[in-house]
Amino acid sequence: MRVLMTVVTLLALTSPAAPEPYLVGRGISDVTGAAAENGMMGYSKFDQKTSGIHQRQRSRAYIVVDQETGKRVAYVNADLAMIFRAVQEGVLAKLQQKYGQTYTRENLLLSATHTHSGPGGFSHNLAYNLSILGMQPQTLNAITDGITESIVKAHEDLKPGSISINRGELTNASVNRSKLAFGKNPDKSFFPNGIDPAMTVLRFKQGGSDVGAISWFATHNTSMTNANTLISPDNKGYAAYQWEHDEKGVRYLDNPNGFVATFPNTNAGDMSPNLNLKPGSGPTEDEVENTRIIGERQNGKAHEIYNGPQTNLTGGVDYRMRFVDMSTVNVDGRYTPDGKPKTTCSGVVGASTIAGSVEDGPAIPGFSEGMQSPLKKLFEPLNVPVPEWLKSCQYPKASLVPTGLVGATPNVLPLQIVRIGSLVLVAVPGEVTITAGLRIRRSVATELGTSLENVLIQGYANDYSQYVTTPEEYDEQQYEGGSTLFGRNTTPAYQQEFGKLAKAMRDNTPVDNGPVPGKPPFTDINLQTGVVFDDKAIGRNFGDVLAAPQNTYQRGQTVTAVFVTGHPKNNLHRNGTFLEVQRLVDGKWVRHADDGDWSTRYQWKRVGIANSEATITWIIPADTPAGTYRIVHNGDWKSGWTGAITGFTGATGGFSVG
């Protein structure tokens, strides 16, 4: 028996390590734009402008290289409302300046979590900048720089590794917000509870070490309502933060190369996290608590799947991508409900788009409001009647604005399929309902000869064109149907066009680029003023403490400090922080928390014409070590005489936490 055990031990020591067919790299960076007086993207609410930070937005990147062929794919999921072509082009330009043609439109997949609580103005299409009062170059640059940095970090992190996959179901983090339309689908029985509960998790390893995870699940990232003005990555951002920060010990400003976890969306078009079907409601009546709970539920299920039985991914890396003019697709009868050929139409916004989704938040008020100064300039390009032929093509939509005809929304879109081993990602530049997603996935799976579970919709990818509903859902003209730009046959068109890409992948044949779009008109309109200068009261200095904390606190209490400050647009402090909670350790102040943490809030407000205040709060977590702490504010002010921007730091006195 002893001899047998010795042989077994020797075999274990000399057997080859687990196969590592890939090079794997991961990276993370900051994509937070202007933290004050920048319109927010998602709810189309004109008076929803940033006024501070709850948590910073981040870009998370993963690169996978097939060691046998050298083919690679770079996958990004960022805490943004959408990816626009302006972002894709900006990132590609920066990457190609550094790496040549290593990364192209074909092998780079950019996606967004769809948070509605981040600064907007980063599209080249006017319709998506309207409520932001135009293009905001500062925010666009922050996003493209941050995404690029995350990819560069992943590139430099590449090491031999492996990827495994597992699946499960999450049933208490989403609800169907468009049940009337969903109920018209003849194939609705595939989703007996009216939701897509599927969660798919990839586990990344370098050698024997876990380095990252991607957890796909369909729910809108809208736990925070349109009344919120603090930057927030919402429930999916909290899920990532909980895994990275709370469980893996990642400190973004100290050791950003730790474990990277991201929670991308799939076909979430009709999936809401607001379980009571009204904004900010469900499971509680507190939007911040709901953000935490829905995020925690996604993270908890992802952990369960991640730690469950794994199947190693094997096989190569591949991709296909082409531009398609979605306004002129001739759809074969194989994909239409009645078996007859159909066509799509140029993009048109319907009346129900303007009404918005009552479950997650209303949209723009009637276009007649604001047609006079100062918004007249924004609306003038959209003041075009819808031609009768287009109204007919869009029937039964109550057509309001022909956004595709005037370039306010894109007609030509990037369609992409990425394969990593057995997993296939269908990158859709829009918001796909669960049944529309099911049909597209089936078309791709059929062409590739693979199982349906191996094909995922990656929504909010590479560009944005609003919603994708089935013909039956479109007929109901709920919010999602009214926001389906290309008419009743949008989903059949996607089935056909993604099917073509899948066939090319199966047959190992190339595809042409398609009609590469140009830059749309009206891209540079911006009615949002910048910082003129910063001022302060006589006798005060920037960084002075206006309201100091108490002397002592208990865990669970809230510490508050108010500072004289300058405008946050003077310096975004990207990859930095506007605040620090510092702890006294061995006679030195050490950063304990910053503005990327769940427990902190940085709130800015204008006082008078050019004066402003920063209010910093810290809700002391239950596990905070006893000790002496202080609050520090980092800011910048702009001179009205020279225009020079000068940094400053202010700090409170110490206070004890017992």
Catalytic residues: 272
Given the structure tokens 């409520």, which residue do they identify?
131
The secondary structure of residue 477, as a DSSP letter, is: T
Task: Give how far the C-alpha of residue 306 lies from the chain's centroid of Cα atoms, to the nearest Å.
Answer: 22
Phi, psi of 361 (to 5 degrees): 150, 135
Residue 585: CB atoms within 10 A of its CB come to 12
CB 42 within 8 A of CB 279: no
Residue 616: CB atoms within 10 A of its CB come to 26
Kindly give the interhelix angle for 287-306 and 234-241, rounded to the nearest 10 degrees: 50
Sign of the CA dihedral 48, 50, 54, 56?
A: positive
Kindly give the interhelix angle for 137-156 and 85-99, rounded to the nearest 10 degrees: 40
CB 60 within 8 A of CB 76: yes
Q: Write a three-state SS string for 412-476.
A: EEEEEEEEECCEEEEECCCEECHHHHHHHHHHHHHHHCCCHHHEEEECCECCCCEEECCHHHHHH
Checking DSSP bridges between strand 260-262 and strand 209-217, what pairing results, if any?
parallel
Given the structure tokens 């690679």, which residue do they identify?
72
Distances (CA, A) of 31 to 80, 140, 146, 344: 8, 9, 5, 35
Q: What's the rounded Cα separation, in Å, for the pair 127 and 137? A: 16
The secondary structure of residue 262, as a DSSP letter, is: E
CB 259 within 8 A of CB 250: yes
Type of residue found at 647: G
CB 459 within 8 A of CB 269: yes
* Intra-chain end-to-end CA distance of the chain, in Å: 59
Sign of the CA dihedral 63, 96, 57, 593?
A: positive
Q: What's the rounded Cα separation, in Å, for the pair 40 and 228? A: 10
